[in-house]
Amino acid sequence: MSETAPTTVNRTLSLRRKTNAEYRPREYLTEGEVTKLLETARKRGRNGARDVAAILLAYRHGLRASELCQLRWSEVDLKHGRLHVNRLKGGIESVHPLRGPELRALRPLQGGASPYVFVTEQGTPVTPAWFLRMIQRTGEAAKLPFAIHPHMLRHAVGFKLANDGQDTRSIAHYLGHRNLQSTARYTALSPHRFKDFFKD
């Protein structure tokens, strides 16, 4: 019996991740797309009210998926319309006003035993993976023209505020950015920067 040495074949696997631009044309949603997402979530499944509230808060307050999932009722003041936002990734915490749409979306979720605002049917806190799946499925059901992810809601509010003419420093504080360079992307794409260029 002859001994043969094992042979090794080198194969190169393509592990290159596609660029964001190969997945979608931009990394934010427009106000119209967010509205469509909310309308679709309202009609989907048994947990439409919870899903609508999650999308609305993530969008209106620029919450990251993990910030949304960790949100506790002790940080929500429905009586005075305030939301204490604890930022992760070294962000600056702040207090945001809660407006009518958010208050109406949150009230039906009250009364559970959990200290967390967003919970599963079993009463456990939702996870960022849940939020990702919910956003992806809702985007597909809404027939949005490209695949979406939760962080696009955070970018959406940044662009919305810039398009509304809010100054960079205020947007930075609202989103919890310590560095204004993180916020500059929103004002850089705002069409208001150029509104006075021509006086036709």
Q: Quick one: pLDDT at residue 69?
A: 97
Is residue 26 flagged as an active site residue?
Answer: no
Stretch 29-48: mean pLDDT: 94
66-105 burial, b if ≥16 CB within 10 A, otherwise e? ebbbbbebebbeeeeeebebebeeebeeeebebeeebeeb
Number of domains, the chain: 1
> Of 36, 61, 154, 155, which is the active-site residue?
154
Does 74 reside within a domain?
Answer: yes
Q: Is pLDDT at 43 greater than 80 in this prediction?
A: yes
Q: Is pLDDT at 12 greater than 60 in this prediction?
A: no
> Of 28, 59, 174, 186, which is the active-site residue?
186
Is residue 154 flagged as an active site residue?
Answer: yes
CA 178, 181, 184, 186 torsion: positive or negative? negative
Residue whose structure tokens are 């309308």: 39
Does 198 reside within a domain?
Answer: no
Does 14 reside within a domain?
Answer: no
**Residue, of 188 and 131, whose pLDDT is higher:** 131
Does 132 reside within a domain?
Answer: yes
Question: Tokens at residue 186, please?
Answer: 């929103």
Does 199 reside within a domain?
Answer: no
Does 5 reside within a domain?
Answer: no
What are the CB-based long-range contacts (under 8 Å, 24+) for 139-142?
Answer: 139/37, 141/40, 141/44, 142/33, 142/36, 142/37, 142/39, 142/40
> Are 130 and 137 in contact, with CB atoms under 8 Å apart?
no
Does 109 reside within a domain?
Answer: yes
DSSP state of 79: T
Residue ranges making up the domain that contains 179: 26-187
Q: Quick one: pLDDT at residue 4?
A: 61
> Of 26, 43, 89, 169, which is the active-site residue?
89
Stretch 107-130: mean pLDDT: 94
Chain-wide mean pLDDT for the chain? 87
% of the chain with per-residue pLDDT over 90: 65
Is residue 59 flagged as an active site residue?
Answer: no
Is residue 89 flagged as an active site residue?
Answer: yes
Is residue 64 flagged as an active site residue?
Answer: yes
Q: How far is CA 190 from CA 28, 160, 197, in A?
A: 13, 9, 14
Does 115 reside within a domain?
Answer: yes
Q: Quick one: pLDDT at residue 72?
A: 97
**What is the CATH classification number for the domain harbouring 112?**
1.10.443.10
